[in-house]
Structure 1
Amino acid sequence: MAFFFLRVLAVLPLVALAGCATPPPPASAPVAAAPRPLMVDPSDYSSIKADDVLFRAIGLVGTPYRWGGNTPAAGFDCSGLIGFVYRDAAGIALPRTTAELIAMHAPSVDRAALRSGDLVFFSTQGGGQVSHAGIYVGEGRFVHAPSTGGTVRLDYLDKPYWQKAYLDAKRVIQPERLAQTAP
């Protein structure tokens, strides 16, 4: 987990400086025609809200599990954690239960296309009914409040238990198309 944070922190200054790295055109350069707008592919877009959700969720790792809990002081169950994080970090009010979360009108996401902030759903009791959910944070990991006596934690989707129980994923935060100029 520390490697993940260090990697994120190492990349942020580079991204900020990248826009400043281009030298200005020479004074004698001819004036070019106005650049034409170009739409950015949403798969290249990193949502600030999704990043806020990611960091808020990771910041709650270690908070005690409590059935029905939905605040850091009271503890969390899985849907209480999701609701708190989205409300606190992104200003988005979500349904309270896992059944309501998986039924909400948000696009399903293929497991191979998961992005930070996506919700992941599991059938931990068998029968194909949703019974657990978490927040995908990247690199095959998700944050969730797993069970009584436990704490909010990071887990890998590729662990056999979670692979077997995996049902679906939903993208709550939709990427925006940003206008940029063509080179």
Structure 2
Amino acid sequence: MASPTTVALLVKKAIDIASDKRVQTFIASVIVGIVVIILIPFLAVLSIFNAEAGYSRETAKIVFDGGPIPIEADAELTEYMEDMIDAFEEIDNAIADYNEEGFDHIKVKSFFYILYFTKDMSEFNEEFYQDFVNCFADEKEDDEIYEELEEYLPHDFTETEKEEIRSLYLFIKYGYSVTGQITGIPGEAFDDETFAQLMTEATKYIGFPYVWGGSTPETSFDCSGFVCWVYTHSGVHNLPRMTAQDIYNQCTPVSKEELKPGDLVFFTGTYQSSNPVTHIGIYVGDNQMLHCGDPIGYANLGNSYWIKHFYGYGRL
């Protein structure tokens, strides 16, 4: 046990330390840092779920899913979301009256969401929803839909609105955003014979090292060089040397439910780049891909790294 003298000296030292302004400043900085770390996630949630945030992917996804609305949402945003969920039910009813299997509910709702989220919809009646849905009948192209809506509503669509509609549609349907027409109709997947042909070529290079810019067996490969070589030299699809972003731009997006062996998997942020797509692999089934890592080999898409950097699926 420490003597009284020792205890007294320790107490005095503690008082001296606590009186030091540098120590006080340090302690205050630590406390502020801890508070900021605690508050940042909370403030981020509030910034998403308040009416001033307007259109965001988070609120849109909740509305398209039919709720539930988070308790963090403020009263005004909650009302907007509830109104839009009710409107989507009216749209579903209007589409059901057409009895057309090819009707794209997500496309109709994407247009409606961008046009009317945060707007007063109290005067919209059953006839309005029927006429709105009618503008999408017969699997019209985008330009035809815009023309019919502009005449019916009337409303002049801005380029910003058109881009927001495209982005929202593809985010809801596929989980990511691409440019171009909203067709939503991917081409035919490879049959078993074609996929086997692709894999015969691809598996020749398992174990080859990753080489930045590599595009042949002599130089070895990088991720896009590997895919271009394998697709071209297997004979399944002529794919000249290009980047992962370029390949992505040529693909039709497919959802996870539509994903088939031979399709491509794209990733983002795997290294610093001005392009969103930075890595590519070949989907081989069972949630696996064959890609040019270091070395070339198989990878599980359920791995936390690939989940974090996932961008989307595509089909050539």
> TM-score, structure 1 length as denominator?
0.62
| Superposed structure 1 runs of 4+ greater than 3 Å apart | 125-128
By how many angstroms is 1:54 displaced? 2.6
Name the structure 1 match of 2:247.
101
Task: Decide whether aligned partners of structure 1 residues 86 and 171 sit closer, same or farther in structure 2, where only a CA change above 3 A counts.
Answer: same
Instruction: Work out whether 1:115 is the aligned partner of 2:260.
Output: yes
The 8 Å contact of residues 140 and 158 in structure 1, kept in 2 or not, is answered as yes
Name the structure 1 match of 2:201.
56
The 8 Å contact of residues 198 and 236 in structure 2, kept in 1 or not, is answered as no
Name the structure 1 match of 2:301.
157
Which structure has the larger Rg over C-alpha atoms? 2
Greater strand percent: which structure? 1
Q: Report SS of the residue matched to 1:112.
A: coil
Measured in 1, the distance between the counterparts of 2:210 and 2:309 equals 20
Ranges in structure 1 where 5+ consecutive residues have no aligned partner: 1-41, 173-183
Greater helix percent: which structure? 2
**Percentage of pairs with the same residue:** 33
Q: CA RMSD in A?
A: 2.2
Q: Report SS of the residue matched to 1:92.
A: coil
Measured in 2, the distance between the counterparts of 1:115 and 1:90 equals 18
The higher-RCO structure (CA 8 Å, 6+ apart) is: 1
Q: Report SS of the residue matched to 2:283.
A: strand
Q: Report SS of the residue matched to 2:298.
A: strand
The 8 Å contact of residues 49 and 89 in structure 1, kept in 2 or not, is answered as no
- Equivalent pairs counted in the alignment come to 126
- Tell me the alpha carbon deviations over residues 63-90 of structure 1, each in whole angstroms, 9 at most, x when there is no partner: 1211111112210000000000001112
Q: How does 1:12-161 map to 2 (within 5 A)?
A: 46-95=191-240, 96-104=242-250, 106-123=251-268, 124-125=270-271, 129-146=276-293, 150-161=294-305
Name the structure 2 match of 1:175.
none
Measured in 1, the distance between the counterparts of 2:237 and 2:219 equals 21
Q: Report SS of the residue matched to 1:120.
A: strand
Q: Report SS of the residue matched to 1:117.
A: coil
Measured in 1, the distance between the counterparts of 2:220 and 2:202 equals 13
